[in-house]
Amino acid sequence: MSIISPVRERFATELGELAALTDSSRPGWTRRALSEEDVAGRDYARTLMKQAGLETRIDGAGNVIGLLRGRLGGREIMLGSHTDTVDGGGRFDGITGVLGAIEVVRLLRENDVRLDHDLVIVVFFNEEPNDFGLFCVGSRAMTGLVDRSTLAAVDPTGRTLAEALPESAIDPEAFLNARYDFARVTAFLELHIEQGPELERAGRQIGVVETITGINHFRALFTGRQDHAGTTPMDVRADAGCAAAGTVLAVESIAGSGENTRGTCGQISFTPEAVNVVSQNAVVEGEFRGPEGSWLHEAQRRLTDAAAAEASRRGVSVEVEWTTDDAPVPLHEPVTSTIASVADDLGLSRATMFSGAGHDAGIIAAKTRVGMVFVPSVDGRSHCPEEFTDLDDIMPGVSVLLETVLRVDRWYAG
């Protein structure tokens, strides 16, 4: 089945309409989970799903779920991605996969193709890290990875997730009971922008993801002593800010020790925040990523030790909490080889990829066979306003997604 020109126009219009549903007080295209804009973004996606002919519902965890009934039913192919963004994010991360999945539905219907499987489209709630130290929240709820400790997570103001969810029309009890029955799902597929430079550098059109990175997030809380910046000699200070700064540099140094390994501290705060006061408290939030679980565990251990050493040599105390410990996820055969053959048969160049970005697909992979299709990112930029992928580069990804759905449909075994 070939892609026809209205697809490109529809995609451009919808990308623009979603880009308008963002927080105008923030840079870039900001639609953070648990914000009004995020509710509006998921509502918009639901409207598109209904117009495309899907029966839609919102589950207990805020995931928008659309259903296109198949000829035989009973078994499902699931597609999905997210519409929330990071602060100051772009227009393509997650959104490409949501609009691409809805296009697959339209193309099937416009070409009078009825699958044997039911086709299920999911717009996952809250893929990006929220202020409660959690990410891939909707997909974790669907796979049974949330419990009362998830609801008890606190943001920097001390508010719990249980208190915040109702503002997005999510009932905390329903959230705990949003498990999905993945026994029916033959495969899950996610189309996504690469968010890195490899496809563009290699001049390839399609990335076939082999492994999704493991991700360990931490929060380190340093407690020192508040003092006068001018009168307190350097050797008697207990400067929580300096211990935090040493820990940030330790993350950088540890992350340089592996292949395809990364370490980042994207959040740091000092209290009190005053130029002439030695910090009493400091909080650093950061993460390690990489393709090997053993390296990630070693990095955790080294960082916990480094934070303790940075603190103790300054008379500061520290608590390091590891808020997520997600192992690397190998994606599944025969889904990945099917995506590769589809790309070859459509005459598209391809590369096998490691994903340094996290995805809901990595969570769903615990429950069913999963494959991911990447399309190139200009200059490899992402999680920034400059994030861009030309529609001419997205359309091949939609074609691969559609054709992969058609091939997986042949695996129906009631």
93 touches Mn ion by CB under 5 A: yes
Residue 358's binding partner among ligand GLV, Mn ion, none (Cβ under 5 to 8 angstroms by kind) is ligand GLV
Nearest residue relative to ligand GLV (C-beta) = 357
Give me the 80-119 binding string for ligand GLV, x by CB under 6 A, dash otherwise: ----------------------------------------
Q: What's the rounded Cα separation, in Å, for the pair 26 and 87?
A: 7
Among residues 366 and 384, whose Cβ is nearest to Mn ion? 384
Residue 66's binding partner among ligand GLV, Mn ion, none (Cβ under 5 to 8 angstroms by kind) is none
What is the total count of residues that contact Mn ion (CB under 5 A)?
Answer: 2
Residue 59's binding partner among ligand GLV, Mn ion, none (Cβ under 5 to 8 angstroms by kind) is none
Question: What is the CA angle 15-142-84, rounded to 5?
Answer: 25
CB of 72 to ligand GLV, least distance (A): 36
Among residues 206 and 357, whose Cβ is nearest to Mn ion? 357
Give me the 94-113 binding string for Mn ion, x by CB under 5 A, dash otherwise: x-------------------
CB of 200 to Mn ion, least distance (A): 18
Residue 137's binding partner among Mn ion, ligand GLV, none (Cβ under 5 to 8 angstroms by kind) is none
Among residues 357 and 372, whose Cβ is nearest to ligand GLV? 357
Q: What's the rounded Cα separation, in Å, for the pair 127 and 130?
A: 8
Among residues 246 and 371, whose Cβ is nearest to ligand GLV? 371
Residue 326's binding partner among Mn ion, ligand GLV, none (Cβ under 5 to 8 angstroms by kind) is none
CB of 55 to Mn ion, least distance (A): 26
357 touches ligand GLV by CB under 6 A: yes
* Dihedral, 93, 94, 100, 106 alpha carbons, nearest 10: -140
Among residues 124 and 180, whose Cβ is nearest to Mn ion? 124
Among residues 130 and 143, whose Cβ is nearest to ligand GLV? 130
Residue 409's binding partner among Mn ion, ligand GLV, none (Cβ under 5 to 8 angstroms by kind) is none
315, 256 contact by CB (below 8 A)? no
214, 358 contact by CB (below 8 A)? no
Q: Of 128, 194, 310, 409, which lies in the binding site for ligand GLV, with binding defined by CB under 6 A? A: 128
Residue 286's binding partner among Mn ion, ligand GLV, none (Cβ under 5 to 8 angstroms by kind) is none
User: Treating both helix axes as pointing N-terminal to C-terminal, what angle do 335-345 and 391-409 enclose, rounded to 10 degrees?
Assistant: 120
Q: What's the rounded Cα separation, in Å, for the pair 186 and 387?
A: 33
358 touches ligand GLV by CB under 6 A: yes
At residue 371, φ and ψ (nearest 5 deg) are -135, 150
Binding site for ligand GLV (CB under 6 A): 128, 357-358
Binding site for Mn ion (CB under 5 A): 93-94
